[in-house]
Amino acid sequence: MIVDKPNEPLANAFQMGAQGENKPMQFPHASPEPAKIAAGGQPADEHDTEELPGNWFYVAASPAMREVREQVRLVAKVDVPVLLLGESGTGKEVIARLIHKHSLRSERTFMKVNCTALPVELLESELFGYEAGAFTGARQTKLGKFEICHKGTILLDEIAEMPIPPQAKLLHVLQDGEFSRLGSSTTTRVDVRVLAATNLDISQALESRRLRNDLYYRLNAFTIQLPPLRARKADIPMLLDHFNTSWAERFGRPPLPMSERMLDACMGYSWPGNVRELENFVKGYLVLGDEERALSKLGAHSNGKAFQFETLRQAVPSDCSDLKSLVRGLKQGAEKEVILHALEQTRGSRKEAAAMLKISLRALQYKIREYGIDQTDAQSTPHAA
C-alpha cells in the first residue's frame, strides 16, 4: 500500500516555475535577512528563526566566489539535487542554506543531517523513521527527517562517509520519492529536495567504494566546488573587516584596529580551516584585545611564515649538531603544531582534523600517540574520537 503525502497541483508548480524563471536572485551586499528554519515539518514562524550564517558570502569578491554566487543563482530555483564539494570550513552549509532560501521551497523546512554523527543502526531510523515496536525501545512511531522535510530541503552533510546500507535506501528515495519506515510494510511518498556535501575527494570515495556510483550519479545533477581560502586570498582583507565589524557588534564593543603586520600575517597564512578558521581567529582577537597574543594563537609572523621559529627551535634537541637531525627536529615540531592547530580548529574531532589534514584517521591517531598530544594540548572536547 502506498500512502501519498498531499501534493500541490502540477499546474501550480508550473505556474510558480514560470513566475520565477526569469527573475534574477537578489544578493544584498551586506546582511541578508534571517532564514526561517522550520522545526517539526511545519512552516517556520517568528519563534523558529535562525540567522543565515552567510553574510561573508556576499562580501567575498574574488572571481572564484563570484562564480559560486552565479552558480547558486542559477540552481536555486531549479528543483534538482546539488552536490557541494569543498574542504572543511569553506562554507558548504552556508551555500546549502542560501540555495534553500532562494528556492521555491523557501517557506518550508530546511534540515541538516550529519551522516557521520550517528552509528549505522541509528542513521536509517533517523532518516526514514520507525513504527512502534520496530525494535527494542521503539515505544511509539517516529517520523524520519525525510517526512519532516516534506516539500522542503534536506542537507546530507558528509555524504561520502554515510554507511553503505542507508545509501541504498537513499537512492530509492531519490529515484522514486518513496520509502518505508523501519518496521512498516507501508510505503510513504515524499517530495524533498536533496542537497549533499562532502569534504572528501569524490573520486577516491568512489574508487574505494565508500560511496555508491549510482547514488553519486543521482546526487550529481549539479555540482558546486567551493574553493579553499588559500586559493582566493584577495578575499581575506574584506573578510577580516567584515568579521571584525560584525562580531564586535555582537560582543557589544567597537571593532579593533588591524595593523599591516596582522594583515601580512593573515595573507601569508595558509588557513587550513578556511573561512571558519579565519572567523574564529577574528573572534579570538576581539576577546583577547591584543595583537601579539592573537598572532601567537595564529602561529604567524608578520612576514607570513606559518609557524614561529622559537616554537620550532624548542623542538630541536640541545645537543643537535648535524643538519639531518636539525631538519628532523624542525619537521617533527612543525608537524606537531599543525596537528594541534587542526584539532583546535575542529574542536577536538580527530575525524574532522584528519580530513582537514588530508590523512587517514589511523595515521592521525598514530601521530597523536607519537607526539604525546593529549586532550588539554589540543583544547579538545571530551567526546573527541
What pLDDT is recorded for position 263? 92
**CA-wise closest residue to 129 among 192, 172, 188:** 188
SS3 of residue 83 by DSSP: strand
How many Cβ atoms sit within 10 Å of the Cβ of residue 224?
21
Instruction: Tell me: pLDDT of 99 over 90.
Output: yes
Taking CA atoms, 372 is separated from 310, 339, 365, 368, 376, in Å, by: 20, 11, 10, 6, 11
Cβ neighbours around 124 below 10 Å, total:
20
- Are 26 and 211 in contact by the 8 Å Cβ rule? The answer is no
Neighbours of 260 (CB within 10 A): 8
pLDDT of residue 101: 94
Dihedral (Cα; 241, 243, 245, 246), 10-degree rounding:
150
DSSP for 125-161, written as a single string: HHHH-B-TTSSTT--S-B--HHHHTTTSEEEEETGGG
115/155 Cα distance (integer angstroms): 10
**pLDDT at residue number 297:** 78
Residue 230 or 374, more confident: 230
Tell me the average pLDDT across 29-57.
Answer: 40
Task: Report pLDDT for 299.
Answer: 63
Residue 329: predicted pLDDT: 67
Cα–Cα distance for residue pair 45/49, rounded to 1 Å: 7
Cα separation of 131 and 138, whole Å?
7
Q: What mean pLDDT, rounded, does the chain reach?
A: 77
Are the beta carbons of 49 and 97 closer than 8 angstroms? Answer: no
By C-alpha distance, which of 342, 344, 368 is closest to 355?
342
Q: Which of 119-133, 262-276, 288-302 has the highest mean pLDDT?
A: 262-276
pLDDT class for 371, splitting at 50, 70, 90? confident
Structurally, at CATH architecture level, domain 2-227 sits in: 3-Layer(aba) Sandwich (3.40)
* Domain residue ranges of the chain, discontinuous segments joined by +: 2-227, 230-378
pTM: 0.66
Most confident option among 131-145, 167-181, 201-215: 201-215
pLDDT in tens, 180-233: 777 777 888 989 999 999 999 999 999 999 999 999 999 999 999 999 999 999
What mean pLDDT do residues 133-162 have?
86
